[in-house]
Structure 1
Amino acid sequence: MNVESFNLDHRTVVAPYIRLADLKELPHGDVISKFDVRFAQPNVAHLEMDAVHSLEHLFAEHSRNHSGRVLDFSPMGCQTGFYLMLEGRWEEQDVHDLVAATLTDILGATEVPAANEVQCGWGAHHTLAGAQDVARTFLAARDGWSTVTA
């Protein structure tokens, strides 16, 4: 299939993990790295939508404090994780460090950025505590982030 994740056997992965899902070289030589940042076990568990929404806002804002190469942090429709898009080629450890630093910042946050009607399409649909719980759980499993399948 054309979509990389549709070719991934979701029954064999063991969340949480971070994996390189795609590497695109653009016509002029620029490279985009796409990482699957999986928080919940596919077809077993999922993240609540208000936590997903808040984590999206928090990660998008705080990750850019650690790297100017962050392009996007987009939630998966299945609510089990996010796609992290980065400029250039990245070493696994550097991605892990970026994610860990960002999630640590999220644990210390006092509000969800742009959680209002002016800056967000559903400003009332957020939970800082929910996003922090998800971040805390993912961070606690850092030693296993490199293991994608059992």
Structure 2
Amino acid sequence: MIDVMQLGWEADTVGELDHRILKAPHVKLRSFTQGPAGDVVYAVDLRINQPNSIFLSTTEMHSFEHFLLWGFQKYMPQNFISIGLMGCQTGFYLVLFNEGHAKAIFDVYEKILNDILTAREVPYANIAQCGNYKNHSLELAQQLAKRVLEARSNWQQVA
């Protein structure tokens, strides 16, 4: 049995929550699935904007997604499965294998955000690696990273 509090998460924030009470930006454990051999897949919400209020543009989401993909592959190569866009345009879903500790995820997320601030280009933003390579903005990704980093102390204040 997985003890989410031992992993550093508030038990009452795991799962689907009423979007009218969510605060952003936040990082929360959305779900986990344990396999028969004991391996666990964790899904984490990386919420950037307040639901039903402010939405990320496609350019912001696209560039930020590239950085998250690059960063989680770099810093968590044994654990990273995928990063996905929230269709509501307010954040991302992070999927990890056998790593659900809040502190580890927060620390890597913070590293990635700091990397964005000093980046000179958006990773994979070229015709060979991206299906819409012209739709990127380093400046917009850096603005988002700065805003999310400034709220670092509140990332676990979900509702």
Regarding TM over 0.5, the answer is yes
Q: Structure 1 residue 67: deviation in Å?
A: 1.6
Measure, in 2, the Cα distance between the counterparts of 1:62 and 1:21.
20
Q: Root-mean-square deviation (CA), in Å?
A: 1.5
How many positions carry a matched residue from both structures? Answer: 145
Q: Structure 1 residue 128: deviation in Å?
A: 0.8
Aligned residue number for residue 83 of structure 2: 73
Would you identify which runs of 4 or more consecutive aligned residues in structure 1 move more than 3 Å? none
Q: Structure 1 residue 55: deviation in Å?
A: 0.7
Q: Structure 1 residue 52: deviation in Å?
A: 0.5
Confirm or deny that 1:123 pairs with 2:133. Answer: yes
Q: Structure 1 residue 105: deviation in Å?
A: 0.8
Q: Structure 1 residue 104: deviation in Å?
A: 0.7
SS in 2 for 1:58: helix
Measure, in 2, the Cα distance between the counterparts of 1:19 and 1:55.
18
Instruction: Summarize deviations over 1:31-51 as a string: whole Å, max 9, x none.
Output: 111100100000011111101
In structure 1, list runs of 5 or more residues that go unmatched. none
Q: Structure 1 residue 147: deviation in Å?
A: 0.6
Q: Which amino acid aligns with 1:73?
A: I
Q: Indicate which of 117, 130, 133 corresponds to 1:107.
A: 117
In structure 2, list runs of 5 or more residues that go unmatched. 1-13
Instruction: Summarize deviations over 1:12-46 as a string: whole Å, max 9, x none.
Output: 11111000001111233221111001000000111
TM-score w.r.t. length of structure 2: 0.86
TM-score w.r.t. length of structure 1: 0.91
Report if aligned partners of 1:45, 1:80 keep a CA contact under 8 Å in 2: yes
SS in 1 for 2:28: strand
Instruction: Summarize deviations over 1:63-110 as a string: whole Å, max 9, x none.
Output: 222222121111111110000111114221211111101111111111
Report if aligned partners of 1:14, 1:147 keep a CA contact under 8 Å in 2: yes
